[in-house]
Amino acid sequence: MYPNKTVALSGVSLHINPKEFVTIVGSSGAGKSTLIRLLIKEEVPTSGKIIVGSIDYDTIDKANIPHLRRRIGVVFQDFKLLPNLTVYENVAFALEVSGVKSKEIKRAVPKILQLVGLSEKMHSYPSELSGGEKQRTAIARALVRNPKILIADEPTGNLDPKNSWDIIELLLKINRFGTTVLLTTHNKEIVDALKKRVITINRGRIVKDEKVGKYTL
């Protein structure tokens, strides 16, 4: 069984089940990004508890933050790819950082690139890719370590509708494989079409939490 996770933010608790696909919506500054930063321990809550799986964040000391981050895949709106590395190298980098053996890297990276549909672009640099391809590279990088949770922070923010849908479909596919997906977005169309759980945050508080939600702000 995948462990549960509980997040507390601004005095509000929320609970996300394993293998769930949750969308978090909220206007800019509502606290979506803070929530994500808390989850990768870039920020520490002043009060309250964060528990992801069996890990209580209070028990993680500084030296173990990198290990925590390796267990959670994160995708950002601005991709955060290394510009002087190829698609392959960017994905491999996440494994190198974890001390994975080169042989294992050579095996795992092409597989994951195939999953996100980037096998052909393996040796291209980020500057040679479209926005959607960049985001798929970032998703591949997040997935290559087999995280239980994938956090996608406005992954479609910089993409056109066609590319946005490709990314969302990829996230749904990943979710079907058993990864918990936490998506934040501004895109009403996507949220409404997903028919998945939607949590609405406003001014740091959860104002709505619906099993099959709509984008309402």
Count of residues that interact with other proteins, criterion CB under 8 A: 25
Q: Residue 175, Cβ neighbours under 10 Å: how many? A: 18
Identity of the residue, 81 or 109, whose beta carbon is nearer to other proteins in the bound complex? 81
What are the beta bridge partners of residue 22? 182, 197
* Alpha carbon separation from 19 to 61, 68, 174, 187 (Å, rounded): 27, 19, 10, 22
Phi, psi of 22 (to 5 degrees): -115, 135
Segment near other proteins (CB under 8 A); pick from 19-27, 94-102, 167-175, 183-191: 94-102
Rg (CA), the chain: 17
Classify 75 as helix, strand or coil: strand
Our finding on whether 8 is near other proteins (CB under 8 A) is no
**Binding test (CB under 8 A) with other proteins, winner from 56, 96, 189, 192:** 96
In this structure, the chain runs to a length of: 217
Segment near other proteins (CB under 8 A); pick from 96-104, 121-129, 163-171, 186-194: 96-104
What is the pattern of x (binds other proteins, CB under 8 A) and - over residues 56-85? ------xx-xxxxxx---x-----xxx---
**Binding test (CB under 8 A) with other proteins, winner from 13, 27, 102, 119:** 102
Task: State in angstroms the smallest separation of the CB of 45 from other proteins.
Answer: 16
Identity of the residue, 14 or 100, whose beta carbon is nearer to other proteins in the bound complex? 100
Burial of 201 from C-beta contacts in 10 A (0-12 / 13-18 / 19+): buried
Identity of the residue, 42 or 56, whose beta carbon is nearer to other proteins in the bound complex? 42
140, 152 Cβ separation under 8 angstroms: no
Identity of the residue, 90 or 187, whose beta carbon is nearer to other proteins in the bound complex? 90
> Which residue type sits at 176?
R
Question: Would you tell me which residues interact with other proteins (CB under 8 A)?
Answer: 40-42, 62-63, 65-70, 74, 80-82, 93-94, 96-102, 141
